[in-house]
Amino acid sequence: MDLFVIGITLILTGSLAALVVPADWKSRLSTLLSAAGCLVVMVGAWLAIWSGGTETRVLAAGPLFGDVPLVLDPLSAFFALAIALTCLLGGIYGTGYLRAGSDAASVRPERLGGHFFCLGLLTASMLLVTVVQHALAFLIVWEIMSLASFFLVVTEHWKDEVVDAGLNYLVSMHVGVVCLITGFLFVGGRGAGMDFRHFAAVFQDLKFPAPGIFLLFFAGFGIKAGFVPLQTWLPRAHPAAPSHVSGIMSGIMIKTGIYGILRVVSWLGKPPVELALAVLAIAAASAVLGVVYAIAQHDLKRLLAYHSVENIGIIGLGIGMGMLGLAYSAPMIAFLGFAGAVLHVLNHSIFKALLFYAAGAVYRRLHTRDLERMGGIARRMPVTAGLFIVGSAAICGLPPFNGFVSEFLVYAAAFSGLVGQRVALVLVSALVMAVLALVGVLALICFAKVCGVAFLGIPRQPPPPDMRDPGWSMRGPMLLLGALALLIGVLPQAAVTLVLPAARLLAGATALPARLPVLELLQRISLIAAGLVVLTAGLMALRRLLLGGRPVETFRTWDCGYGAGTPRMQYTASSFAAPVLALTNPVLALETKLEQPTGFFPDSASFETHPGNIFEAWLIQPLVNRLNRFLTRFTWIQSGSTQRYIFYGLVFLAVTLIWMAVV
Amino acid sequence: MLNLAVNLFILLGAPLLLVGVINRTKAIWAGRRGAPLMQPFHDFLRLLRKGAVISDTTTPVFRLAPSVNLAAVILAGLLVPLAGGGAVISFEGDFVLFAYLLAMGKFARVLAAMDTGSSFEGMGASREALFSGLVEPAFFLLMAGCMTIAGQTSLADALPALQRSGGLLQVALVLGVISFFIMLLVEGCRVPVDDPNTHLELTMIHEVMVLDHSGPDLAFLQYAAALKLVIVGALIAALVLPAAVPLGVSAAAVLLVLAVVAVATGLVESVTARLRMTHVSQFVFLMTSNGLIVLAVVLLFKFGGLR
């Protein structure tokens, strides 16, 4: 706990320093202090996980707040570790990313102060969210987190689309906060006050409508996390933000929503089966729709944003299996589900940040996010491309990378449910496995498309002269994340020790055996993952040996003997995705613009598709339109004349005084 | 130890022989004498001895992919039960790793194809990614059915469970065999999903993806493709063969099933034409519906009291 407080103090100092020091020093000093703070927090969090206990410190915070407990339990410590890791690397990458943009469209150095101030504030508030266990204080740090990230999203505020995305994000977050406030008021009204430590008792009171309140919290936290159908802010905000901010937001900030949901689950005790099924259904929809929308996307960062929805769905499937395990009093299923969900939080923060950073490095050189304009990046930026491919394999859950490990744990929860004696559990488990498999397959298609179209092949546009791998401040964090993805994939039994205490906490520690059989499974997986690396290296050595001394020529690609291959003849992202989109058309709301060639000598023809979003088109937009129509009736209030506003103030004062006199 | 040696021998020795059997079947059906059974071996060795021509648009991904693919497929093969009712490596939930290793191989092949910048290879890559992708959810549904009956969750323990219980489960067993046979046709890129003998790039799937590979790279890719036939054939063998028999008998039985599967593949290839590309996904969905039916049958058997 001491280390945690020291770390946050360092981060906040760095954040404030960014405002006051001269322009040249802003990014360096602030990032240095913030990085030191993150490292201290990581050590503290790691020690807390390792000890497995719960540390509490109560702050006396005056008459308004009363006592504010700061609690570092295994769950908070795990999230704090992941947050500190992502923010540490994101901050370092950010200094390079903002410097690299020496073109006209980038942030001026004297404006960087505000940016790094918000970045530090975001880091500190995310860390505090995991430990503050007091409703009012929690809402305040939650709000600071939302606002800081809002200002980071609108860093490039001179672009209209960025401001639009930012406002959309801001509004979405506040819809979420309304749900949270209502939830906290409900619980607090039952005599629990503000202290989270008393909430479990309220939730387990039989007269309390626990499932309803859980769903209210789920909606509030789910908007942050990006569950379907509340995810509409996500594909806008991530592309609008600078890449290091996208990496931090998509990698870890949306996971604070997952933290919130898990915290509420820990209060819930034994949930009803229906509630677990509802969570599973929402999660399955998020996972499948997220990846389907991603396949339809040709904007690289928006595509990655939709993959966040998919991965949040996978995490949700883990949480749902965990809750189902609790509901059926099957602690092992609960443990595996929660362990998979929590580990996937860390894994996703690693590979998603890596993917966003690599995408950012490409954006800095090409100034486009459109896949159809990329191609052949790997020849000019081999390190970036290699790391993007590593990140892609990891996000598809392919061994030997980290994504496989956490998905395996969720699978393990499902197949442990299969061998039981409950028909509902068997059915749900089988369907969860099929959904996970489907999502894995679609993710593979999507990332094969991105890697193949953007990074491999021939450039579709002449590459700019400065097209090369980024400098070390951007390359270092990417290399480290890639190494972590491989390390966790090859040594899953070591990585899983980080989540064991948290998963035990959520699954009810007493019901579990001290030695868990899953560790042995992970050892076998480690063996095969390492075997894959070694065998590949062996085969490459064999290939080298066989080709040594033999002629190896380079020649142009086979094109039916014409010898006139041009970039325009390459398979495009749209063509690659077309067979899948044909199958998934019903959920896509695909907008097509077709201008057919006419006449005997047609001179022009065009075809465009714009993937829509059924929730936005059918649910959110009609709702917003209706609300707009209703609220338009009150526009006369806003007349613009100062006298009228002063009059309103007077009326308000008078009414308040009368009301106070009466009461 | 003997068990391990026999399994490795079948796994690594049978693939090219199986291709020989398929080709010989097709030749006999067409009224020809056909190439010797060992011809694929000779082709393989010849490719290994050749130099290579590499496309000038490619990156190291293209050179790495055949090795990654072969390594992933070999490791997937280690998880599959062969002779003596056991796999080389077997643990609870190994089927997940099995499916994802095959996916890793596919990812490598698809990237290598995209790396050439050729529209044909892109087309093949897109189709391969989709068609063999559609197999996966169906595979997990089938495995769910087997595991529910077996009460065990490794490939070696779960697959033989369907034949042990008899009764209604015979239906599930037949559907399971059909499904794995479809999986074999898809993963092995055979007719009616893909035609290994076509000479029009537009209609190829697997063959067009490897157009630009040559020498040892091509040898690795072809060997891996043949190995996948053995792997999926072994899944069928595990489904139909009784588990507890002496090693020698079991090895002979597995080889026999593999031979039958190869002949069946050759016959299918001789009597049917390749499906239209737009109909291939429907063909693969047959496996998904089979998987759902197997699951339903298993649930009725285990919980509904239906025998």
DSSP per residue over A346-363, as a string? HHHHHHHHHHHHHHHHHH
Q: Which residues are CB-neighbours of A559 under 8 A, at least 6 positions away? A: A565, A569, B118, B120
Q: What is the mean pLDDT of residues A123-138?
A: 94
Q: Which residues pair with A24 in a beta bridge?
A: none
From the list A171, A94, A93, A91, the residue with the least C-alpha distance to A123 is A91
Residue B154: phi, psi to the nearest 5?
Answer: -105, 155
Spatial separation of the C-alpha atoms in residues B34 and A457, rounded to whole Å: 39
**pLDDT score, position A106:** 61
Spatial separation of the C-alpha atoms in residues B305 and B307, rounded to whole Å: 6
DSSP H or E run through A60: strand A55-60
User: Could you tell me if A412 and A333 are in contact, meaning their C-beta atoms sit under 8 angstroms apart?
Assistant: no
Nearest to A571 among B101, B122, B148 (CB): B122
**pLDDT score, position A1:** 82
Residue A648, SS3? Answer: helix
**pLDDT score, position B243:** 74
Residue A132: phi, psi to the nearest 5?
Answer: -70, 125
CA-based nearest distance B27→chain A, Å: 28
Nearest to A452 among B71, B125, B295 (CB): B125
Examine the pLDDT at B183 and tell me if it is beyond 80: yes
Tally Cβ neighbours within 10 Å of residue A367.
12
What's the whole-number average pLDDT of chain B? 92
Q: What angle do CA B34, B38, B40 make, to 5 degrees?
A: 85
What amino acid occupies position A309?
V
Mutate to test the interface with A, among B139, B148, B152, B211 (most CBs of A within 10 A): B148
What amino acid occupies position A594?
L
Examine the pLDDT at A589 and tell me if it is beyond 80: no
Nearest to A434 among B125, B141, B220 (CB): B141
What is the distance, to the nearest Å, from the Cα of residue A363 to the centroid of all Cα atoms in its chain? 20
User: Could you tell me if B238 and B228 are in contact, meaning their C-beta atoms sit under 8 angstroms apart?
Assistant: no
From the list A164, A125, A168, A132, the residue with the least C-alpha distance to A146 is A125
Instruction: Tell if the CB–CB gap between A456 and B115 is shorter than 8 Å.
Output: yes
Q: What is the mean pLDDT of residues A30-48?
A: 94
A232 compared with A404, residue with greater pLDDT? A404
What is the four-CA torsion angle of A448, A449, A455, A459, rounded to 10 degrees? 150
Residue B80: phi, psi to the nearest 5?
Answer: -90, 135
CA-based nearest distance B7→chain A, Å: 17
Residue A206: phi, psi to the nearest 5?
Answer: -65, -30
Convert chain B into a string of H (helix), E (strand) and C (coil): CHHHHHHHHHHHHHHHHHHHHHHHHHHHHCCCCCCCCCHHHHHHHHHHHCCEEEECCCCHHHHHHHHHHHHHHHHHHHCCCCHHHCCCCCCCCHHHHHHHHHHHHHHHHHHHHHHCCCHHHHHHHHHHHHHHHHHHHHHHHHHHHHHHHHCCCCHHHHCCHHHHHCCCHHHHHHHHHHHHHHHHHHHCCCCCCCCCCCCCHHHCCHHHHCCCCCCHHHHHHHHHHHHHHHHHHHHHHHHHCCCCCCHHHHHHHHHHHHHHHHHHHHHHHHHCCCCCHHHHHHHHHHHHHHHHHHHHHHHHHHHCCCC
Report yes or no: A519 at the B interface, CB cutoff 8 Å: no
**pLDDT score, position A600:** 86
Residue A604, SS3? Answer: coil
**pLDDT score, position A107:** 66
Spatial separation of the C-alpha atoms in residues B205 and B126, rounded to whole Å: 9
DSSP H or E run through A404: helix A402-418
For the stretch A593-637, pLDDT in tens is: 788 888 888 888 887 777 777 777 788 888 889 999 999 998 888
Report yes or no: A412 at the B interface, CB cutoff 8 Å: yes
Among chain B residues, the shortest Cα distance to A442 is held by B133
User: Could you tell me if A37 and A92 are in contact, meaning their C-beta atoms sit under 8 angstroms apart?
Assistant: no
Examine the pLDDT at A151 and tell me if it is beyond 70: yes
Examine the pLDDT at B188 and tell me if it is beyond 70: yes
**pLDDT score, position A52:** 82
Residue with tokens 């054939």: B233
Residues recorded for chain B: 307
Residues recorded for chain A: 663
Work out whether strand A55-60 and strand A591-595 pair parallel, antiparallel, or are unpaired. Answer: unpaired
Q: What is the mean pLDDT of residues A109-121?
A: 86
Q: Which residues are CB-neighbours of A463 under 8 A, at least 6 positions away? A: A365, A366, A376, A380
Q: Which residues are CB-neighbours of B52 under 8 A, at least 6 positions away? A: A547, A550, A552, A553, B214, B215, B216, B217
Q: What angle do CA A466, A467, A469 make, to 5 degrees?
A: 110
DSSP H or E run through A443: helix A423-450
From the list B200, B190, B201, the residue with the least C-alpha distance to B225 is B190
Percentage of chain A modeled with pLDDT above 70 = 98
Spatial separation of the C-alpha atoms in residues B59 and B212, rounded to whole Å: 13
Nearest to B96 among A411, A558, A576 (CB): A411
Instruction: Tell if the CB–CB gap between A536 and B67 is shorter than 8 Å.
Output: yes
Nearest to A426 among B49, B110, B299 (CB): B299
Tally Cβ neighbours within 10 Å of residue B36.
12
Examine the pLDDT at A113 and tell me if it is beyond 60: yes
For the stretch A387-434, pLDDT in tens is: 999 999 999 999 999 999 999 999 999 999 998 888 999 999 999 999
A-chain residues within 8 Å CB-CB of B66? 539, 543
Spatial separation of the C-alpha atoms in residues B133 and B236, rounded to whole Å: 20
* pTM attached to this predicted model: 0.94
Which tokens belong to A56? 């509490």
CA–CA distance from B158 to each of A5, B84, B129, B235 (Å)? 52, 15, 28, 11
For the stretch B99-139, pLDDT in tens is: 999 999 999 999 999 999 888 899 999 999 999 999 999 99
Which tokens belong to A202? 């309220």
Nearest to B100 among A397, A535, A540 (CB): A397
Spatial separation of the C-alpha atoms in residues B54 and A72, rounded to whole Å: 57
From the list B304, B301, B299, B290, the residue with the least C-alpha distance to B140 is B290
Residue A70, SS3? Answer: strand
The complex's ipTM? 0.96
Instruction: Tell if the CB–CB gap between B299 and A436 is shorter than 8 Å.
Output: no
Instruction: Tell if the CB–CB gap between A555 and B56 is shorter than 8 Å.
Output: yes
What's the whole-number average pLDDT of chain A? 90
Q: What is the mean pLDDT of residues B184-192?
A: 91
Residue A68: phi, psi to the nearest 5?
Answer: -105, 110
Spatial separation of the C-alpha atoms in residues B255 and B237, rounded to whole Å: 9
What is the distance, to the nearest Å, from the Cα of residue A326 to the centroid of all Cα atoms in its chain? 26
Examine the pLDDT at A318 and tell me if it is beyond 70: yes
For the stretch B204-260, pLDDT in tens is: 888 889 889 999 999 999 999 999 999 999 999 999 998 778 888 999 999 999 999
Mutate to test the interface with B, among A433, A442, A516 (most CBs of B within 10 A): A433
Tally Cβ neighbours within 10 Å of residue A646.
10
A-chain residues within 8 Å CB-CB of B114? 448, 451-453, 456-457, 571
DSSP-derived secondary structure for A164-218: HHHHHHHHHHHHHHHHHHHHHHHHIIIIITTBGGGHHHHHHSTTS-HHHHHHHHH
A-chain residues within 8 Å CB-CB of B291? 434
B-chain residues within 8 Å CB-CB of A388? none
From the list A617, A598, A615, the residue with the least C-alpha distance to A606 is A598
Instruction: Tell if the CB–CB gap between B67 and A389 is shorter than 8 Å.
Output: no
Residue A51: phi, psi to the nearest 5?
Answer: -75, -25
**pLDDT score, position A597:** 84
For the stretch A162-211, pLDDT in tens is: 999 999 999 999 999 999 999 999 898 887 788 898 898 888 887 888 89
User: Could you tell me if B184 and B19 are in contact, meaning their C-beta atoms sit under 8 angstroms apart?
Assistant: no
User: Could you tell me if B65 and B230 are in contact, meaning their C-beta atoms sit under 8 angstroms apart?
Assistant: no
Q: What is the mean pLDDT of residues A373-398?
A: 95
Question: How many CB pairs below 8 Å do chains A and B form together?
Answer: 268
Residue A548: phi, psi to the nearest 5?
Answer: -60, 130
Residue A553, SS3? Answer: strand
Which tokens belong to A64? 């308004």
Q: What is the mean pLDDT of residues A447-470?
A: 91
Instruction: Tell if the CB–CB gap between A528 and B89 is shorter than 8 Å.
Output: yes
Confidence of residue B63 (pLDDT cuts 50, 70, 90): very high
Examine the pLDDT at A104 and tell me if it is beyond 70: no
Examine the pLDDT at A535 and tell me if it is beyond 90: yes
**pLDDT score, position A100:** 59
A-chain residues within 8 Å CB-CB of B100? 397-399, 404, 440
**pLDDT score, position A564:** 61
Buried/exposed A401-422: b ≥16 CB within 10 Å, e otherwise: bbbbbbbbbbbbbbbbbbbbee
